[in-house]
Structure 1
Amino acid sequence: MNAASTPAGAAASNKQHMQEVMAELAKGNGKPFADSMADDFRWTIPGNTSWSRTYEGKQAVISELLQPLFAQFATRYTNTAHRIIAEGDMVVIECQGHVTTKAGKAYNNSYCYVCRMEGGQLKELMEYLDTALVSTALEAPPVAA
């Protein structure tokens, strides 16, 4: 049994992977984050905003969540992790995003991502955030087909 196959080894490996991904996101490079998503990745945003729902599959996350969201941004989006905690296949990330929308609004949201990892990839992400800020700073996304 190698270290990564033990719960403590998996936690350390998952934590290190997400530290690297978030370090790139802090520089405005979201590619490692997208590359980490499994094909059957699931991203859930709870609440009652127009963005709140579960996005099923990597393609849906990209086309129905990330592309419409980033289309509203006038500046490069950055997201800086302040704390990363890992246990087994779970990684929790407290982070702060920074961007200005094309409408000139600051969209500097605080997040808590609760992630489930499998085989070094993101399988699930539950995103807790300031839903009031979402409602005041962002336009509604297009209706999914």
Structure 2
Amino acid sequence: MWTIYDDPDRGRKVSMAELASQRRGRADAVLRRIARTGIASLTLGAESVANTAEHERVARTADESNFQIVMDAFRRWSGSEGSLFDLMADGAEIEIPGTAAHCGVFNKSVFNADIAIPFIARFSVAPIPSVRRIWADGDDVAVQAQAVGTRRDGKPYANNYVFILKLHEGRIARATLFLDMVAFNDVWNHVEPSTSKRRVE
């Protein structure tokens, strides 16, 4: 039995068989488009996975490189062959967070002249850091260290430090330094500095 349906696409009437044939054709076309889209999606997905893997490889390489750069600097510092200042860019910024007198944000030269040199001048044996832990995430490297030394009044000095370092092209562009300011201020306020200490840069 034939049933007649309106065909809005052609503006005429067609039989059930013809309509079914048209619908099968349209369904096949849709399936072909889905198949092509699916293949394209799979291809894009594979490219995305590859790009992600490459990005992770590059990130791991950056992590390892910056980790090694900072670790080598601390090894030299621990061996009295330099200091972290050797790794700092000329325009580096140094921050000591807090509200104590010596907290704030400084450029490298001001920090060196106003804080680092006067502080080291208060020691007969300068504090040498020993790395406890070190983390690297791209251009950011964090170091937990303990430093011990001997003050000019003969008393021992010990302090715990956390350095958060931002590297750029193998140099420190910014350093954030956390430490026990009570121990720092005890040295600063009660020990007279020597006038013969050289620059730590």
TM-score (norm. length: structure 1) = 0.83
Q: Which has the larger radius of gyration?
A: 2
Map 1:1-145 → 2, pairs under 5 A: 6-31=58-83, 33-56=84-107, 58-139=108-189
Name stretches of at least 5 consecutive residues in structure 2 with no aligned partner.
1-54, 191-201
Count of residue correspondences: 135
Q: What is the distance in 1 between the residues matched to 2:189 and 2:80? A: 22
* TM-superposition CA deviations, 1:79-102 (whole Å, max 9, x none): 111111000100000000111121
Secondary structure in structure 2 of the residue aligned to 1:99: strand
RMSD: 2.0
- Tell me by how many angstroms 1:52 deviates: 1.2
TM-score (norm. length: structure 2) = 0.62
Name stretches of at least 5 consecutive residues in structure 1 with no aligned partner.
141-145
Q: Which structure carries more helix by proportion?
A: 2
- Tell me by how many angstroms 1:110 deviates: 0.4
Q: What is the distance in 1 between the residues matched to 2:102 and 2:153? A: 18
Q: What is the distance in 2 between the residues matched to 1:139 and 1:7? A: 45
Structure 1 moving runs of 4+ over 3 Å: none
Q: What is the distance in 1 between the residues matched to 2:103 and 2:131? A: 22
User: In percent, how many aligned pairs have the same letter?
Assistant: 24
